[in-house]
Structure 1
Amino acid sequence: MKALPNPTNIIISLCTASLLIFVFAFTSTPSDETIAQNEWVTLFNGEDLSGWMIPEGDNGHWRVVDGVIDYDAMSEAEGDKALWSDQEYEDFVLKVDWRITETPYTNPNVPIVLPDGSHKLDENGEVIRMAVPDSDSGIYIRGTSKAQVNIWNWPIGSGEVYGYRMDSSMPRAVRAGVTPSINADNNIGEWNTFIITVEDEYLTVELNGHKVLDHAHLPGLPESGKIALQHHGSQNESGEWVSPPSLVQFKNISIMEL
């Protein structure tokens, strides 16, 4: 007579199968699951700045040129000079192409950023700094400049979240998590592609096909907010840049809400 299965083995097998189903469900990517249900929405039509809030008093410095958003870092607006989306967003995937057009300012204070987000020090415990031709912009998520996905020419590369990395009150794991794992930027003047995923308080940034931030935790990130393209830089009375300017262009901006 064929022996009956051991009831204990059956229970163990069922528990193992249930555990595998749970693990699969937990580790699957929500954005992958929702692609079939949600649609990409274009945030820039290539013709004008419809859907964006031009800062009052800007006087045409945020503009559309040859199908791209072009900024000369010279907005005449008082106060905030960033270009904000009309709508607010919660969880989403954002695709955007960007490029730095030129780097007329040499930044003398660029640190060497270590993998844990800290700065390399010299023998006296001082931060080692270097001079780098630099322009500076970024993309604000959920309405806060602290959660800015950086665009610049630092050796660490674009995609980091400076506001969190430099916040000494944040846990070390958070500061390390918002530090790019690789410099994936193309050369100055060449186009780059961000794919930015925001889910709850977590951020993933893919740059030119490389995942530079992977599920980075942003404690205190607002539940929803607008997206912004950052202004940075100013000139002195002689017309010389005194900080890295946002000499950038953007195109192919689209979003999928999760």
Structure 2
Amino acid sequence: MKSKHIVPALLSIFLLVNHSFAQEAKMKSIFNGKNLKGWTVQPEDNIWWTVEDGKIAVENDPTKTGSILWTKKEYADFVFQMDFLMGTGTVDSGIFLRSEKDQIQIGISGSLQRDMTGSPYIPGKSYPVEAEGVADVLQLDDWNTMKVRLVDQTYTVWINGEEVMTYTSENMPEKGPIGLQLHPNNEMSITFKNIMVGKL
């Protein structure tokens, strides 16, 4: 008699688990297209980040000081997606995940002197893995869409719909903000739009 109840119970558990994995994150805009409400600039005296026509643009100042635009909210597991357009100069930017320790590169690596878009950069480890197939999908003179899915300590990156990299980091904080980078000691500009997050 007991076995008749065990099978339906196991089936219910399987369907519940399978459904939770199949669910897509409900994406929500975290940029209102008008100003930097909901974001904070580091350093605080903002002379780099501007908002115009529903886009966030950033450019180095004459002193080539770097800056990070952080979300005020912190996130645990999430999907982050945005569009970016590389501008003038040697673009060296990226997305910080929960802290400055884990970054997804956008543009030219200052250390390797080549495009490492989609690859993870870890201080002390440089680029532990390299994104694959980026040259085939990255548009240098047009808008690109980057999506990052972070669960626990593993993150996966898509560029224009193509999966290019998965990496499991070490000692990531369980929760933290998301940041956009303006690299110091450089002359460059980059623009972002359609910035969204979905909590997992």
TM over 0.5: yes
Name the Cα RMSD after superposition.
3.1
- Is 1:137 paired with 2:89? no
Q: Which runs of 4+ in 1 moved over 6 A?
A: 75-78
Q: Per-residue displacement from partner, 1:190-222 (whole Å, max 9, x unpaired)? A: 1110111000011011111110113x2111111
**Match runs of 1:29-48 below 5 Å:** 30=20, 32-35=22-25, 39-48=26-35
Between Structure 1 and Structure 2, which shows a larger proportion of strand residues? 2
Counterpart residue number, 1:226: 177
- 8 A contact 2:82–2:146 mirrored in 1: yes
- Is 1:250 paired with 2:192? yes
Q: Residue type of the partner of 2:121?
A: Y
Identity over aligned pairs, percent = 30
- 8 A contact 1:140–1:149 mirrored in 2: yes
Q: Whose radius of gyration is greater, 1 or 2?
A: 1
SS of residue in 2 equivalent to 1:57: coil
Counterpart residue number, 1:7: none
Q: CA deviation at 1:43?
A: 0.8
Q: CA deviation at 1:34?
A: 5.0
Q: Residue type of the partner of 2:102?
A: A
Gaps of 5+ in 1: 1-10, 104-133, 169-173, 235-242
SS of residue in 2 equivalent to 1:193: strand
Between Structure 1 and Structure 2, how many residues are aligned?
Answer: 187
Counterpart residue number, 2:40: 53
- 8 A contact 2:75–2:199 mirrored in 1: yes
Q: Residue type of the partner of 1:58?
A: N
How far apart, in 2, do the equivalents of 1:231 and 1:68 lie?
A: 16
Q: CA deviation at 1:146?
A: 2.2
- Is 1:146 paired with 2:101? yes
How far apart, in 1, do the equivalents of 2:58 and 2:147 lie?
A: 21
How far apart, in 1, do the equivalents of 2:159 and 2:16 lie?
A: 27
Higher RCO (CA 8 Å, separation ≥ 6 residues): 2
- Is 1:87 paired with 2:77? no
Inter-CA distance 161–25: structure 2 relative to 1 (3 Å threshold): farther
TM-score by length of 2: 0.79
How far apart, in 2, do the equivalents of 1:167 and 1:50 lie?
A: 34
